[in-house]
Amino acid sequence: MSVVSSVCVTVPATTANLGPGFDCIGAALTLYNEFKFTRQQVEQNQRLLLKVTGTEAARVTTDESNLVYQAFIKFYQYINQTPPPIKIEIQLGVPLARGLGSSATAIVGGLIGANVLAGEILTQAQLIELAIAMEGHPDNVVPAFLSGCRLTATRDTGWEICDIPWYKDIVPVVAIPDFELSTSEARKVLPTQVSRGDAIFNVAHLGLLLRGLETGNKNWLRGALQDKLHHPYRKSLIYGYDDIHVAALSAGAYGMVISGAGPTLLALSDTSNSGDVVAAMASEWQKKGIIAQVQALKLDTKGATSVIQG
């Protein structure tokens, strides 16, 4: 078997939770980060050369603390081998700390890149297990690996992953503001216990969401995006949330939720109203002095891909 010297890995952004699906459901979107891994000769004990380009590139660490490299190292620790000296080139297309799975792209990219260079000795299922362990929850890394919309649940021997049909006319609209909200900060505001009533509410609405996504039933989708586990607590961290919610609904969206931990907001619409929803959400945030990138995306259908380049 020839030794792979270079591989490029492309990983999609993800939106997680989708309202009532807290920490268990996520969808891959058509925004991407690219990671190129190239074997290097050992020179002056430099085992890592890392370069970053794209939006917010200056904010990404380029030493061994970089999450892509941490995932790369984690893979080699798992297979009990010494990692090769490596050059990593990152092209950013997914905004950082905005609730679109940027950390998941780094973990998935690092693991896949390492696996390809090592001769693909781990299965996709093993890589997903490693990714979930690094991320701490499955809702971003699973769809980043596999594409589409995915529900992930625990079982006795690991994880059960279920693909969720997504009706062709449902359009995800993302409103990405120019301020950040870390996942750790967003988790601090969550209660440690919830009432039985709130738990039942979310179970019912998650079931409604799954059927709404599959069928495109407008009434089901309008009810499905409600949540009582995290939205009531997190929305106060996102300036203008309630007004933007009203604007999205008035423009024809089925509903609006926080994407992941936020502050990006996700509205679901149909194709006929998606342009109006984009304009309404952008206008409402602009009124409040917030610059936001608002766009209608599609569901990614490829997941993480790798191309050997040498």
pLDDT at 44 exceeding the cut of 80: no
> How does pLDDT run across 268-281, given as a tens digit for each residue?
999 999 999 999 99
pLDDT tens-digit profile of 101-110?
A: 999 999 999 9
pTM of this prediction exceeds 0.75? yes
CATH of 170-296, one of 3.30.70.890, 1.10.260.40, 3.40.50.300, 3.40.50.10490: 3.30.70.890
Average pLDDT over residues 121-142: 95
Query: Residue 181: what pLDDT?
Result: 77
Q: What is the pLDDT of residues 77-106, one digit of tens each?
A: 999 999 999 999 999 999 998 999 999 999
The pLDDT, as a whole number, for residue 46 is 78
Calculate mean pLDDT across residues 107-126. 96
* Inter-residue contact 99 to 263 (CB < 8 Å): yes
What would the CATH number be for the domain defined by 6-164+299-308?
A: 3.30.230.10
The band of 43, judged by pLDDT with boundaries at 50, 70 and 90, is low
Report the pLDDT value the prediction gives residue 210, as an integer from 0 to 100: 97
Q: Where are the domains of the chain?
A: 6-164+299-308, 170-296
Q: Region 170-184: what's the mean pLDDT?
A: 89
